[in-house]
Each structure stands twice: as structure tokens, then as C-alpha cells.
Copies of this chain bind each other. A is one copy, B any other.
Amino acid sequence: MNIKDVAERAGLPAKTIRYYEEIGLIRPLRSANGYRAFRDSDLHKLAFLARARGLGFTIEDCRKLLALYEDRGRASADVKALAEAHLTQIAAKIAELRAMEETLSHLVHACAGDDRPDCPILKGLETGAETGCCGA
């Protein structure tokens, strides 16, 4: 298979596939003309990578997951540990975003959004205070 075929089937841009080869995630063969010649196993790995990346795993995590995927003697505990650590990071990121969302939505609600210059959002950014809409 040439790169465009695997790209479509794995759901990854060709550019990304070349990059994954460059950093050693896959090692496709080469045809006589210099084209990459992907085996089914390469396609499987790329689809695996696409899904792992889609779940937010870093490339380095993907490298470890791929190694476990290929290791018939792996312990599922190792996979689970990786996934749990990643879940923890996802939860932390969500919490961070929610905090931003909360602060910012308070400010937005306090802002008239008209043609006058008075703006609680800018005031909040200036002073570090929120709108003060509900106490203190």
C-alpha cells in the first residue's frame, strides 16, 4: 500500500504518517522506487495510533502503548496504569478549564456589551477581582 491509501484507511494525514516514521513509531518497507510500502501490520499500528492520539495520549505514551500492544507477554496492569495516569491528567485539564470558564463567564455576564467603554471584563483582568456580583 502507498501512503495515501493507508492515510485514508487509518484516518491520518500523509504528513503525519511520515512524521511517525521519522520518530520511529512505524517502520514501513520501501519499494524499489523509494516509495514507502506499508504492510497490513503498519496500517494496524497507524489506526491504533490514530485512536490513541484521539484519546489524547501523547506521542510518547503512544510509543509505550504500541510497545505493549506488540508485546504478547505484557501485563494488562501496565496498560491500565498508563491509561489511569492519562485519565488523571484529563481530569486535571478539565478542572482547569472549568475554573477558567467559571471566572470568565461571571465577567462576561457582568458586562453590558454595548458601545460604552465601561467594562467589568477589563476591570477583572486589571485587578484580578471577579465581578463582585454575588457578595464580598
Nearest CB of B to A24, in Å: 19
* Residue A74 lies at the interface, judged by CB distance under 8 Å to chain B: yes
* Residue A107 lies at the interface, judged by CB distance under 8 Å to chain B: yes
Contacts of A103 in B (CB 8 A): 55
| Contact among B48, B71, B111 with A80 in the assembled complex (CB-CB below 8 Å) | B111
Contacts of A97 in B (CB 8 A): 56, 90, 93-94, 97
* Residue A20 lies at the interface, judged by CB distance under 8 Å to chain B: no
For A122, the closest partner residue in chain B by CB is: B69
* Residue A86 lies at the interface, judged by CB distance under 8 Å to chain B: yes
Q: Are B83 and A48 in contact (CB under 8 A)?
A: no
Contacts of A55 in B (CB 8 A): 100, 103-104, 125
